Amino acid sequence: MEVLKKTIRREMWYVLFLVPGVLLFTFAVILPFVTGIRYSFTNWDGISRKLTYIGWDNYVNALQDADLWTVLGNTFKYAIILTLLVNLVALLFALLLDSYLPLRNLFRTIFFLPSVISVILAGFIWSYNYSQGFPRLLAHLGMDVTSPLGNPDRALYGLIIIAVWQGIGAPMIIYIAGLQGIPAELSESARIDGAGPLRVFRNVTLPLLAPSVTINMLLVLTGSLKVFDLVLVTTNGGPGFATEVISTFIYKNAFSSFKAGYGMALSMIFFVILVIVTVVQVTIFRKREVEM
């Protein structure tokens, strides 16, 4: 009897501990999310007082909207290239800065520095450097360059460069931490067995780094699928829609074009895509980690 009472009291405390978090989360996320879902079934324009329920019309229209597929294409192209590039560069820097180079703490600071700058600032500074700074500097070297942001074939890559500049800080730190968790004896003994540095990396370091790879891939991919501010402040989707991504597309539909209901439906589709991507990714990496 006494034990039961104690257990109940303990459980009561746990529930009490959980309540504020759940309340806050419900208030800031679930409640708006449910409201958003409801709007996605209406033709609400975002301003007027009347809204009519139109069933699945928004969803049907969205799936038939050629622009949606274009912007999804842009979004995934951006996200996949960025994820690979950030991880590659971050891993390379981590390997070099883990123990190899002198002044490594200074370099670490420099490579991490852009991550603490707001996207607004980064976008502003880079747009200007792209259109004025770099062309003028390279003109001294006799090179004739133009801003990548002004060319539909290169604009997305222009954005990716900014995002790499801003994005390698945290993954680099995570990789360094991962590397430091690898016992030195392991790679040492592999080297004694006659393995070259590349083979040591492939057979010893990389498999042991798998958890870091997983978390970095996951963080960068989900983050870059949601890219918004960067596009908004640098290209606003142009030129010729070449950098229009899903979140700016939703934003423009919901706010600039007075189609809040449609915008909500688009973002629900986006939500489903994000869930699928995350689930798929987690499953793949879990499997591989086990295999390794």
Partner 1 sequence: MRSTRLLVFIAVAAVAAVFLFPLYVAVLMALKSAKQTFDSFYALPPSLDLANFVHAWDTSKYPTAFLNSVIITVLSVLLILIISALSGYAIARGNKPLYNFFFLLFLSGMMVPFQVTMLPLYQLGKSLDMLNNYWGIVVIYGGFGVQSGVLFFTGFVRGISREIEEAARIDGCSTPGIFVRIVMPLLKPVTATVLVLNALYIWNDFLLPLLYLQSKDFRTIPLQQYFFFGQYSSDLNLAFAYAVMGLIPIIVFFLFMQRFIIKGIAAGAIKG
Partner 2 sequence: MNKKLGLGLSVALMTALLSACGGNNGNNAASPANTASAPANSATESASAPATEDTEPVTISFMHFKSDATDGINKIVEQFEAENPNIKVDVQPVKFDDYATLLKTKLASGDIVDVFTLNAGSTTKLYKDGGYLEDLTDQAFMKTFDPGVLAEQATDGRNYIMPLNAGPIAVFYNKKIFADLGIEIPTTYDALIAAAQKIKDSGKTPFALGWKDGWPLGMWLSRDFPSNTVLVDKQTDFFDKLEKGEAKFADNPATKTTIQHALDMFKYGNKDQLGVDYNGAVDMFAREEAAMMYMGTWPLPDIEKKNPELFATGMGYFPYPFSNDPALNKLEFNPDASVAVNSKSEHKEAAMKFLAYLASVPAANTWVENVKTLTYVKGASADIAPAVSDLKPYFDNGQLYNSQVYITTTIDWTTQFSQYVQKVFFNKATADDIIKDLDDWVAKNHK
CA distance 8 to 12: 6
With contacts defined by CB under 8 A, name the span among 147-155, 189-197, 265-273, 276-284 that binds partner 2. Answer: 147-155
Q: Between 54 and 274, whose beta carbon lies closer to partner 1? A: 274
Q: Which is nearer to partner 2, 135 or 207 (CB)?
A: 135
Q: What is the DSSP letter of 43?
A: -
Could you tell me which residues are beta bridge partners of residue 42?
53
Per CB under 8 A, contacts with partner 1 among 118-147 are 118-121, 124-126, 128-129, 132-133, 136-137
Binding partner selected for residue 238 from partner 2, partner 1, none, CB under the kind-specific 5 to 8 Å limit: partner 2
**Residue 175 Cα to chain centre, angstroms:** 17
Distances (CA, A) of 34 to 93, 268, 279: 43, 11, 22
- Quick one: what does residue 178 bind among partner 2, partner 1, none, with the CB cut-off 5 to 8 Å set by partner type? partner 1
DSSP 239: S
Angle value at C-alpha 174, between 168 and 177, nearest 5 degrees: 135
Contact between 88 and partner 1 per CB under 8 A: no
Show the site string, 166-205: x = touches partner 1 by CB under 8 A, - = not.
----x--xx-xxx--x------------------------
Among 259, 264, 267, 269, binds partner 2 (CB under 8 A): 259
String of contacts with partner 2 for each residue 179-198, x by CB under 8 A: --------------------
Residue 152 binding partner per list partner 1, partner 2, none, with a CB distance cut-off of 5 to 8 Å that depends on partner kind: partner 2
- Distance of closest approach, residue 271 Cβ to partner 2, in angstroms: 20
Half-sphere exposure for 40 (CA within 13 Å, toward CB): 21
Footprint of partner 1 on 2-61 (CB under 8 A): 9-11, 13-15, 17-18, 20-22, 24-33, 35-37, 39, 46
C-alpha to C-alpha distances, 93 to 86, 89, 104, nearest whole angstrom: 10, 6, 10
| Interacting positions 112-141 with partner 2 (CB under 8 A) | 127, 130-132, 135
Long-range contacts, stretch 227-230, CB < 8 angstroms, 24+ apart: 227/75, 227/78, 227/79, 227/159, 227/163, 229/119, 229/120, 229/123, 230/119, 230/122, 230/123, 230/159, 230/162, 230/163
26 in contact with partner 2 (CB under 8 A): no
- Binding string to partner 2 for residues 53 to 82, with x set by CB under 8 A, is what? x-x-----x---x-----------------
Cβ(156)–Cβ(74) below 8 Å? yes
Instruction: Copy the structure tokens of residue 58.
Output: 């928004």
Using the rule CB under 8 A, give the single segment among 48-56, 67-75, 78-86, 258-266 that binds partner 1.
Answer: 258-266
Q: For residue 53, list its beta bridge partners.
A: 42
SS3 42: strand
What residues line the site for partner 2 (CB under 8 A)?
31, 35, 38, 41, 46-53, 55, 61, 65, 127, 130-132, 135, 144, 146-153, 236-241, 255-259
